[in-house]
Every structure is written in structure tokens, then in C-alpha cells.
Chains A and B, each alone.
Chain A
Amino acid sequence: MARTILEVKGLKKYFPIAAGEQKGKVVRAVDGVDFFIREGETLGLVGESGSGKSTTAYCVIGMYSITDGEISFKGQDISMHSSKRPLSIKKDIGMVFQDPGTTLNPQRSVKQILSLPLSVHKIVDKRDPEEQLLKLLEEVELPAEYLYSYPASLGGGERQMLAIARALATDPSLMVLDEPTSALDVSVQAKIINMLLRLQKERNLAYLFITHDLSLMRNLATRIAIMYLGKIAEIAPTETFFSAPRHPYTQMLLSSIPVMTEDEDALKPKRVVSRGEIPSPVDVPPGCSFNTRCPFVTDGCFEEDPAMREVGTDHWVRCHLFA
């Protein structure tokens, strides 16, 4: 089995509320998350908005200082803020954000944007720096003549490809992708996803893929983790995840995916109807955080927060039903 390259243990990130009615309280954006990623695999981190999936990604890349927990990358502790991380770590973890319109400086040309990671990490090919950049463009299927353009003259999908090229420039082994396709048209989405799959194969990349789109994960992820109110509810290999979901929340999500045909409908778990909305991470319900929406709720769910239990190979569930 492939080596584990990223390991997150007990990750917590609380944001204090500085002003307003709820001053003094904290937002428990991420509240004790454990997961790991093996070399060359894709972990899909899925959740509703407000579940803390993006916060988890930002903690992994060091954009936020974490409240508690441990993040290690290839055996090296990287729990600190990115400003304190060694350059070698920054070189080895790439990041692609959601909206390519805001992650590319409108005043800098494609050439300048792509040159930055190369010069920072001193991996510029001195003999032919231009060819190095052209190779990068070629890798993400962008035409060479874009080298002197500005982001404004590129389309949304092309900008995201450029952002991916920038992340690839330092030849990382882990890429953190924060909803890389959700701001794009569906036709462009497919192109980007295919490209990401190809790059993964070619370079043995590991992806931490943040998304709210479960059906996208079916073709992309090696394993899927479902987040709910800052905690992982269930984490399972993709096949198991879709064929035998255990956690009531997973079942609820899977049964709410819209389908076209009856065959597809037959595959979905039937019994769980989605109800309610995700509570505020400021007032997390006591006990199991899912007790406000769970159809199988018992008295015990209001008293004790369940722990993660292994129910199969690589299959972990946080629910009292499997105690």
C-alpha cells in the first residue's frame, strides 16, 4: 500500500467572534478532524456550506493558524502557520482556490504569474527560462501565445488552468484543491477534471479535493470523507461510500442527489429523507451534532458525542448506531 503523505490528527480551528450580539462566543469551524492521504490518491472532502471543509483545507496549507491538533506531511510536523513553514514544504504542497478570478493578479502577465513560484524556489531553468514556462502551459493545455497575456483576457476555465499550472510549477506531491470547478461552467468543469486526473497519473500527485458536489467525487476520489459541523461523519473508500453508506447523514445526502433514470434511482438509499438545515457552528447541539436532523435519533445521541469507529477496511463512521 502506498505511503501516507499527509496526516491530520484532532485538527481544531475556532474563530472567536469579535463583535456583535454573540461577542465572546467562538465559531467551531473545525472541531476535531482526523484523516490521512496516501501518495497518489484523492481524498474527497465533502460537506454542506458551513461544514468547515474549506477551513480544513486552509489549515492544511497553513493559511490559518490552527487552534489545536497536529498536521504532519511526509513525517514532518507542519502544524504551524505558513509564514513559519520551511520553503521546502511550500514547494511540495500546491494550492488551487475556488475562484480563479480572484487568485490571479489582474496587473501581472501570465509569464510573471508562472515565474513567481519558479524564482522563489530557485528552480528556474537558466538556459531557457521561457521554454520552462511554455512547458508548463503545454501541460495544462493552454496555447503558448498566452504567455504574454493578462488574466483579464483569459476565460474562466483558462484562468483555472493557469492557476493549476502555477501550483504545478514547483512539482508538488500534494495538491489542495478548494472547489476548483464550482465557479465554472459545466462544460469547462469536465475539461478541468479530466486534466486533473491525467496530471495525477503522470506525476503521482495526491489530491485533497474539497467540494460540495458528491456526484463529482464518484469518478474522482479514492476515498470520500463527509464533514458535518466541523467533524467528519463518515470516511470510506468511494465504492463502499456509494454502495454501503452507514452514517444517517451520508444516507440522507446520497438519497437527495437528483437522478434521471429509474436505474440510478434504484441505487440510492431510500429510507432517509432530508430534513432541516445545518445548525450554526456557534451553537453546536450537545451530544452528537447531527441529532437535530437524524431520523434514527435516540436519547443517547443528546448526551454523548460518538467517537470514530472502524466498520470496514478504511471505513470509519462517527455514529452511536455502530457502537
Chain B
Amino acid sequence: MANANDKANCQGTVVKRDKFIQLKRAWYKFSLNKTSVIGLVIVVAVAICAIFQPWLAPYPHHAGEFVDFANVNCPPCKEHWCGTDGVGRDILSRIMYAFRGAFTLGLGCLALVVPFGVVMGLIAGYHKGQWISTFIMRVTDVFLSIPPLIMALCVCAILRPTLFNSLLAVSVSWWTWYCRLVYSMTSSLRNEMYVKSAELTGASTAHILFREILPNCFGAVFTKMTLDMGWIILTGASLGFVGMGEQPPIPSLGTMVADGAKYIPGQWWISICPALAIMIIVLGFNLLGDGVKDMLSSEE
């Protein structure tokens, strides 16, 4: 038996190698779709800008309270690739600083929304037909019936408009999408024979929800997370645009677009450049999300 044990241990390393091969195969599938690779490149580039902003931004001190009346409303040129704004701040630097806020918003929101929504969806889906499920799903419906932007505006108007509060505001209604997604998956997965057989063995509900059902929902949830990053950043920018996001002087993409809007069409770069930045982020995450979806769906 000791022999068999050694064999199994040695097989453990083989499995690790198999996992690596699987990963390589997944990457190959992902890389087949060139647009999703472009998406990945965009997302990684934006993430690098967000993380290493003090070293990458050409004028890091322009992100704060800085005024340079000599360089006001300078159009895009060699020194200022995206031009300068109404008080002479370099727009490219400010966009790069705003990336960190946008990423924090997206990741923070997902960190709040995904665990909560997924757990709610698991509970509601597994107990479909019972009062607890009806209760959770009706609450979900109430939140879904209010447009997320309006909901977020209300929350931001009640609380002070800061990055953290807009993160909360977006989260308040966003969890419902994960709840619905996981609910529909769970309510069909609970009839799978492997779930039935775990029930017959006497496994606890927690085991069935988190060890039997959840791993089978993971692919769909992960795909939605990737796609949602873009949408959350867009919603955050919309909040910023109406003045309910991060407050000046801290740069935020939505606020920058709003500030520049009054100079259009003369000084178009003040608002078009951050708007393009928003577009690139959202595009990047959407392309990446599509690639992830293809990769995970073809794996089954």
C-alpha cells in the first residue's frame, strides 16, 4: 500500500503538470480570438498606468491643486500630448491619475457585489419554491426596477459624494445581477444527480451550495465580472459627470469630461481626451470579457 501511496504522491505532481498544460490550452483558445487579446492588452496597459502612475505620468504634480496660467488651454502638443485644461494642468497626467480611481471603483464594487449577490443567488436558487427564495427574488426585483444610475444618484445625494460613496452607490443595485445569474443557474443545477446524491449522502446545505453548486457557476460569474468592470467604470464616470463622483481637485474621468464640456468645440481636447479614455477602458474590458466567455464555454 505504501507503494501505491508513493505512486499517488508522484501522480500529484503529474496532475500539477496537467494543470499547467490545461492552462496553456486555455490560453491558446483565448489567443485564437485576436480581438480579445487586444482587450487584454488594453486592460493590462490601463492597469499598469493606474499602479505606476507617479512614475509614468509626465507631470505627476498636476494631479492635485496646481495652477499654471502660462499654459492654460494649450492644445495637444509635444509637451502635453493631450493638451492642458482651463487652469493649465496636463490632461494626460490627470487621466492616468483618474485610472486608479476608476479601477478602485470597479474592483471595490465587484468585491462587495459578487460575494453578496452570489450567496443570495445560491440560497434563493437552491430553495426555489420556498418563502426565503421568494423573499430574496422579490427584493431583487425591487432593486432591479430602479435604474442603477438613478439609484446611485440618490445614494450619492444622501451621502457625501466621494469615491467610496459612489462605490457603495453603484453596489447597492449591482448585486442583483449576480443574484439573478446565480439564481437561475442554481435552480437548474440543484436538480443535477450529483447534487441529489450529495443530499442523499447527508451532506450539509453549506457543502452543497459552496462545494457542489458554486464551482459549476464560477465560469459564468467570472465572465460577468470581466464584462461588468467596464460597465461599473462607465456608471462611475456618469456619476462623476453629474458631479456626484470624486470631488475636485482629485481627478476623475467623468468630472473631467463635464469640466471640459463648456469649452467645446473650441478647446475640444479638454473633454474629448478623458471621454476617449473612458471608451478605451470599457472597450478593453468588453473585448476581454468576450474572450473569457469563449474560453470558458468551449472548455466544457
Contacts and interface: CB of A to CB of B under 8 A. Distances in A.
Interface of A: 61-63, 82-83, 87, 90-91, 95, 97, 99, 102-108, 112, 116-117, 120-121, 130-131, 134-135, 138, 144-145, 147-149, 166, 170
A147 B8 contact: yes
B1 A62 contact: no
Nearest to B212: A105
B11 A131 contact: no
B78 interface: no
Contact of B194 (A83, A105, A130, A134): A105
A141 B212 CA distance: 26
A90 B199 CA distance: 10
Interface in B147-200: 192-194, 196-200
Contacts of A83: 199
A90 B15 contact: no
B177 to A, nearest CB: 23
B9 to A, nearest CB: 9
A102 B8 contact: no
A131 B1 contact: yes
A63 B215 contact: no
Q: 9 shortest A-B CB distances, which residue pairs? A: A107-B215, A145-B11, A144-B4, A105-B194, A148-B15, A103-B193, A102-B193, A90-B202, A144-B8
A170 B216 CA distance: 26
Interface in B68-120: none
26 contacts: A63-B196, A90-B200, A90-B202, A91-B202, A95-B197, A95-B200, A97-B197, A102-B192, A104-B194, A105-B192, A105-B215, A106-B216, A108-B215, A116-B201, A120-B203, A120-B204, A121-B202, A134-B1, A144-B7, A144-B11, A145-B8, A145-B14, A147-B11, A148-B12, A149-B15, A166-B201
Chain A facing B: main interface SS: helix
Which of B5, B192, B194, B201 has its CB near the most chain A CB atoms (within 10 A)?
B201
Contacts of A108: 211-212, 215
A86 B193 CA distance: 21
Given A105-B212, A134-B4, A82 B199 contact: yes
Contacts of B8: 130, 134, 144-145, 147-148
Interface string B1-27: 100110110011011000000000000
Given A108-B215, A148-B11, A148-B15, A120 B201 contact: yes
A87 B202 CA distance: 6
B11 A61 contact: no
Contacts, number: 79
Contacts of A145: 7-8, 11, 14
B193 A99 contact: yes
Nearest to B218: A107
A108 B194 CA distance: 10
B38 to A, nearest CB: 31
Contacts of B218: 107
A108 B207 CA distance: 12
Given A130-B8, A144-B11, A149-B15, A103 B197 contact: yes
A121 B207 CA distance: 14
B194 A102 contact: yes
Contacts of B215: 105, 107-108
Contacts of B203: 116, 120
Interface string B203-214: 110010001100
Contacts of A95: 197, 200
A131 B5 contact: yes
Contacts of B211: 108, 112
A140 to B, nearest CB: 14
A63 B195 CA distance: 12
A97 B4 CA distance: 29
A99 B196 CA distance: 13
A135 B8 CA distance: 12
A106 B216 CA distance: 8
Which of A102, A106, A116 has its CB near the most chain B CB atoms (within 10 A)?
A116
Contacts of A121: 202
